[in-house]
C-alpha cells in the first residue's frame, strides 16, 4: 500500500500503531501528532508534530496540504474536543477516519463503583463518600474539585493549574503503577475514596484492584461519546487491518 497516515496520538496505542506501521515499511509516510501538554513525552517513530492544529479548519487544511490519505484518532478516551475536531475535519475534506480506543474497565466482584457522567457530577458526589480522596484524573480538570470539602491527594505527571481543592497535596508521578505501590499509596495517605476517569488499560488499573482489596468506594467518570458515524476498534491489530484496507495499493 501507499499513502500518508496521520495518527492523532499521545497514548500507548498510538505509539504502538506508529511502530507497527513504520516497521512494516507501509505506508511510506506516518505522522504522529501530539498535543504537547506533557513535557518530554514518549515519542513514536516516524514523523512527529507537536501542538494543536488551530481547530477544525486548521486540521482540515493540514490534511489537505500534507496529502493525508487516512487518519487514526488514537487520542486519550477523554480527549473529546480533539475527537470531535477530527470527525468534523475529516468529513469536510473526505479523509477516512478511524477511532482507536482501548476498552474501558470492567467492574469485578467486590468493587464498589459509583459511575457518574461528568467530573462535575463526580465532585458533587465526593463529599458523601469520603473525607480523604485520591484524585487520579490528570492535571487538566482538577479545578472541577475546587469546592469539595474533602482533603484530596492529587496525582498528575505535571502540576495542575489552579484552582485546586482547598485542602490538597500534589503527588507528581508518571505511570505505569503496580499493585504494591498503589496499595502503599492508599494506606500511606489514609485514602477512603478513589476518583478516576474510566481510561481503561493496564498502566493505571492497579489502583482499582487496590481499592477493591481495601473495600474503598470508587467514583468512576464515564467516557464521553464517540462522534457519530466514526468506526471504532479497540486493538492495534484491528487498526492496522483498517489502514491496509483503506489506503490505496501500490
What was the pLDDT predicted at 250?
Answer: 44
Q: Which fold has domain 112-221?
A: Rossmann fold (3.40.50)
What was the pLDDT predicted at 100?
Answer: 98
Residue 186 burial by CB count (10 A; 0-12/13-18/19+): exposed, middle or buried?
buried
Confidence category of residue 24, pLDDT binned at 50, 70, 90:
confident
Q: Quote the crossing angle between the two packed helices 55-65 and 80-93, to the nearest 10°.
A: 50
The residue behind cell 487498526 is 239
Structure pTM?
Answer: 0.91
pLDDT tens, 47-63?
Answer: 999 999 999 999 999 99
Strand order in the sheet with 168-172: 112-116, 217-221, 193-197, 132-136, 151-156, 168-172
pLDDT tens, 230-243?
Answer: 999 999 999 999 99
Q: What percent of the chain has pLDDT over 90?
A: 87
Task: Please tell me the chain's helix, strand, coil percentages from 3-state DSSP, rounded to the nearest 5.
Answer: 30, 20, 45
The residue behind cell 493549574 is 161
Q: How far is residue 240 from each of residues 118, 186, 234, 248, measured CA to CA in Å?
A: 32, 39, 11, 14
pLDDT at 39 over 70: no
pLDDT at 191 over 50: yes
In sequence order, what E strands does 97-227 have?
97-100, 112-116, 132-136, 151-156, 168-172, 193-197, 217-221
Confidence category of residue 1, pLDDT binned at 50, 70, 90:
low
Residue in 119, 81, 96 with CA at minimum distance from that of residue 27: 96
Its CATH architecture, for the domain 4-103+225-246, is 3-Layer(aba) Sandwich (3.40)
Tell me if residue 57 falls in helix, strand or coil.
helix
pLDDT at 249 over 80: no
Report the relative pairing of strands 29-34 and 97-100 from DSSP bridges: unpaired
Question: Is pLDDT larger for residue 203 or for residue 155?
Answer: 155
What was the pLDDT predicted at 186?
Answer: 98
H-helix segments, the chain: 12-24, 55-65, 80-93, 119-126, 179-188, 206-213, 236-246
pLDDT at 209 over 50: yes
pLDDT tens, 85-115?
Answer: 999 999 999 999 999 999 999 999 999 999 9
H-helix segments, 140-200: 179-188
Amino acid at each position: 500500500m501507499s499513502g500518508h497516515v496521520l495518527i492523532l496520538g499521545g497514548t500507548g496505542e498510538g505509539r504502538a500503531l506508529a511502530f507497527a506501521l513504520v516497521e512494516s515499511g507501509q505506508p511510506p509516510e506516518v505522522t504522529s501528532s501530539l498535543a504537547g501538554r506533557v513535557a518530554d513525552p514518549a515519542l513514536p517513530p516516524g514523523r512527529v508534530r507537536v501542538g494543536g492544529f488551530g481547530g477544525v479548519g486548521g486540521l482540515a487544511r493540514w490534511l489537505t496540504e500534507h496529502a493525508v490519505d487516512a487518519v487514526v484518532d488514537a487520542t486519550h478516551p477523554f480527549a473529546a474536543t480533539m475527537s470531535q475536531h477530527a470527525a468534523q475535519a475529516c468529513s469536510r475534506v473526505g479523509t477516512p477516519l478511524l477511532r482507536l480506543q482501548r476498552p474501558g474497565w470492567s467492574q469485578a466482584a467486590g468493587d464498589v463503583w459509583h459511575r457518574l457522567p461528568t467530573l462535575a457530577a463526580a465532585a458533587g458526589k465526593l463529599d458523601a463518600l469520603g473525607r480523604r480522596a485520591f484524585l487520579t484524573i490528570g492535571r487538566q480538570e482538577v479545578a472541577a474539585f475546587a469546592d469539595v470539602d474533602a482533603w484530596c491527594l492529587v496525582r498528575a505527571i505535571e502540576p495542575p493549574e489552579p484552582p485546586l481543592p482547598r485542602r490538597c497535596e500534589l503527588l507528581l508521578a508518571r505511570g505505569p503503577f503496580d499493585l504494591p505501590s498503589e496499595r502503599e499509596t492508599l494506606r500511606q495517605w489514609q485514602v477512603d475514596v478513589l476518583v478516576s476517569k474510566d481510561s481503561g488499560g493496564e498502566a493505571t488499573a492497579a489502583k482499582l484492584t487496590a481499592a477493591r482489596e481495601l473495600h474503598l468506594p470508587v467514583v468512576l467518570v464515564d467516557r464521553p461519546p464517540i462522534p457519530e458515524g466514526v468506526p471504532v476498534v479497540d486493538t492495534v491489530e484491528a487498526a492496522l487491518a483498517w489502514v491496509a484496507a483503506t489506503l490505496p495499493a501500490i
